[in-house]
Amino acid sequence: MVTIKSLTTLIFDLDGTLCRYKTDLEEGLLETFDAEKPENLPLTTEDYQEGFGVEFDKAIDGEVDQPEIEFRTRVFWNVLQDQNYSKGEILELGEKFARIREDSLTLYPDVPELFKRLSGKFKLGLLTNGPSNLQRRKIETLGIENWFEAIIVSGEHGLAKPDPRIFYIAMDELECGPEETIYVGNSLKYDVLGAKNAGVPVVWKKNGKEDTEVEGARPSMVIDELKELLEDERDLTISEGEKRSIKS
């Protein structure tokens, strides 16, 4: 058993852990296309999510078809180019959607105060999945660059969570080992499973979701809000679980 206060290093996920969109994906698409109903959208939430995954995989593998086009706009391009939209129209729609998303991006309310309390007490890192330009833009928009001693964006390394190697990179940059580190994230599939495979205890920020089974993804602690990490400055005991040794 260890306590959070006995650790030296906390590493955080970004999306869904530190920040969220006030406007959800469907609302953003409706506003982008000036549509009143989801059934009137030429690009649905399912289209976008599937296309996002495809472009994400390409970015990780270094196989992006049109790197000059912004990441989210490439998702629009792949769907709309076959629907009689001109390239100019697609670029304009993609830029509009990006502005809507960025204007809607916000930190969870308890995050600024939590980081004030953590500052100077721990080494702090950020490890986020996504292409470099998209994730770096979010970090800049939120103004949180100076909170962290190291920021690791998966797209800059050709790896992505849950691959344990991206966690090793984060620990190398922060000069820490798994026995003195904890990772905090909201995804069982990417954050919890990835950290556990790297031998790092992990806090699952479940955001009010019901528990779901992901094989091998057993968090050391479960919270709904980040302030629970150091609530009332008490030591919160966590279990390291079935810790795995790091393999080169």
Same domain, 117 and 218: yes
Do residues 10 and 31 share a domain? no
DSSP string over the chain: -EEGGG-SEEEE--BTTTEEESS-HHHHHHHHTT-SSGGG-SS-HHHHHHHHHHHHHHHHHT--S-TTS-HHHHHHHHHHTTTT--HHHHHHHHHHHHHHHHHHEEE-TTHHHHHHHHBTTBEEEEEE-S-HHHHHHHHHHHT-GGG-SEEEEGGGTT--TT-HHHHHHHHHHHT--GGGEEEEES-IIIIIHHHHHTT--EEEE-TTPPP---TT---SEEESSGGGGGGGGPPPEE---S------
| Whether residue 2 has pLDDT greater than 90 | no
pLDDT digits (tens, 9 = 90+) for 167-220: 999 999 999 999 999 999 999 999 999 999 999 999 999 987 766 667 778 898
- Look at residue 27 in the predicted model and tell me its pLDDT: 96
The verdict on residue 150 lying in a domain is yes
Co-location of 50 and 118 in the same domain: no
Work out the pLDDT band at 248, boundaries 50, 70, 90: very low
**Owning domain of residue 145:** 2-18+108-238
CATH of the domain at 189: 3.40.50.1000
62 falls within a domain: yes
Task: Give the count of domains, the chain.
Answer: 2
